[in-house]
Chain A
């Protein structure tokens, strides 16, 4: 299955027919394995990596927020993390080791909107002790893809 996932991870648009041609498997087998991976939650979704700087041309504000919190009995950080994850403003959320507990990426239309969400929703949660907000200034790499860089090919058209 890993051979199929390696292709899909780089190109979510790859069709079962294309994957079959690249892996030497039959189309039916590829379809079955993809289906199996979806059911086992190995494949969680098929996303497109968008260059948001170009799309929104500065009209989107992102902030990375460090959250320090008190874990709850029995569920530790999971209960509160799952609540925070439900806010649509939260783009990604991870539990971290080190100086803070949760790493939260928040998006909004304006700096004011993001600041307001942090103050009114995130910091207001009872288990949250403190937050530190870092506004994103410029993106260089997104999901493994280096932005605004074209190394192109400088190969000779023919070589021995």
Chain B
């Protein structure tokens, strides 16, 4: 079968919804890296730490004890209780473990569930840009319409309530926030969040707050959106274990919201996923009970690397905001005259350093690249040296 025929066969088989989805902006780079040796990758989106041993050990013990069955659709009650306690201690928000918390397969599933639970075809969701790569596809797959709000370095990549308000129409259903932010490293101030909470009341919007990087902030306090006045019942909190506890592969996240939304999300979850894997849930339980020291140690280590990366990029001439959260820097490469795709591709081929082009995170990411500093100090130093050589050659 030739390519044309194969394509037309696919278009008959595949849904229009899927065919309209843009391919991932990083797939092409993945293939190039796979064919190369000695690449320093700053293109990763997960911790370089292995899950702390006591957490792995708890999962091993659970297997030895025969914990191999389904759990409640909502997740293990003990885990939901610990999540409730954890959020109450950190942010003074009370969620009822019996009907306001759902344990999911990572935050990714929680995001998909919430979109499918609240959106009807044509409903609009406002999303600040640059945006995490899954947000727009998840909205579109649920039949919604993503409405982007560009942010820029000038405002430290924080979204303003007035910019959000200018996008609100009679079809606006929700606002999706992701702070601390992937890819920019931006953190929202409490005051800026408060202004957005006023919009939620004024226009009766739901705010979906992806706070998977909540524990990774540097020198500032994280504002948990549901902790703002009247926001517990106007928001859906998405959280997880991947970043704070270095547990990406375990795929455990959670959603907290009013019982109506959680019940709706659980309905989809029970038919499509049934429950999150029990080993991951047991590991998450151990993480919440005894993992605090490691969370802080890893945060301190990221903070050291963050300084090294930011100062190094600036000394090369690539300006960036002081990223106060997550583990990414998002330097501007505009002064090189290259697009972010050109910069990333040439840097990879000529100097063997992988970064993610900012355009992968939406149009307003153009002119930037994402550099992850969850890599070793040696790798950061090596990468900075290579990026420095690359930028010098361009001048």
Measured between beta carbons, the chain A residues less than 8 angstroms from B44 are: 155-159
**Cβ-neighbour of B356 out of A6, A7, A158 (below 8 A):** A158
> Once the chains are docked, how many angstroms separate the CA of A94 from the CA of B326?
43
Map CB proximity to A onto B31-50 as digits: 1 under 8 Å, 0 otherwise: 00110000101011110101
Indicate whether B307 reaches chain A with its CB closer than 8 angstroms: yes
Using known A-B contacts A6-B300, A151-B50, A155-B44, determine if residue A160 contacts B133 with beta carbons closer than 8 Å: yes
Cβ-defined contact, A158 with B300, below 8 A: no
| Docked-complex contact B29 and A155, CB < 8 angstroms | no
**Is A21 a contact of B308 with CB atoms below 8 Å?**
yes
Chain A stretch 120-160: residues in CB contact (< 8 A) with chain B: 151, 153, 155-160
CB of B354 within 8 Å of the partner chain: yes
| Number of chain B residues close to chain A: CB under 8 A | 28
Q: A155-B46, A156-B44, A159-B46 are in contact. Are A23 and B307 (CB under 8 A)?
A: yes
Q: CB-CB < 8 A to A23: which residues of B? A: 304, 307
- By beta carbon, the residue of chain B nearest A160 is B133
Bound complex: CA A153 to CA B182 (Å): 22
Residues in A with CB closer than 8 Å to B48 are 153, 155
Complex Cα–Cα for A159 and B108 (A): 13
**Least distance between A150 CB and chain B CB atoms (Å):** 11
Q: Which residues of chain A are within 8 angstroms of B26 by Cβ–Cβ distance? A: 158-160
Question: What B residues does A159 contact at CB under 8 A?
Answer: 26, 43-46
- In the complex formed, the residue of A with least CB distance to B36 is A157
Contacts of B312 in A (CB 8 A): 21
CB-nearest residue of chain A to B48: A153
Query: Which chain A residues lie closer than 8 Å to B270 at the CB level?
Result: none
> In whole Å, how far is A112's beta carbon from the nearest beta carbon of chain B?
39
Among A22, A157, A160, chain B packs the most CB atoms within 10 A around the CB of: A160
Tell me, rounded to whole Å, the shortest Cβ–Cβ distance linking B259 to chain A: 31
Residues 294-308 of chain B, each 1 if its beta carbon lies under 8 Å from chain A, else 0: 000000100011011
Name A's B-contacting residues (CB within 8 A): 3, 6-7, 21-24, 151, 153, 155-160
The 6 closest A-B pairs by CB, nearest first: A22-B304, A158-B43, A159-B45, A157-B41, A160-B133, A157-B33
Can you offer 24 A-B residue contacts whose CB atoms are under 8 A?
A3-B300, A21-B307, A21-B312, A22-B304, A22-B305, A22-B377, A23-B304, A155-B48, A156-B30, A156-B44, A157-B33, A157-B41, A157-B44, A157-B354, A158-B29, A158-B30, A158-B33, A158-B41, A158-B356, A159-B43, A160-B45, A160-B133, A160-B134, A160-B182
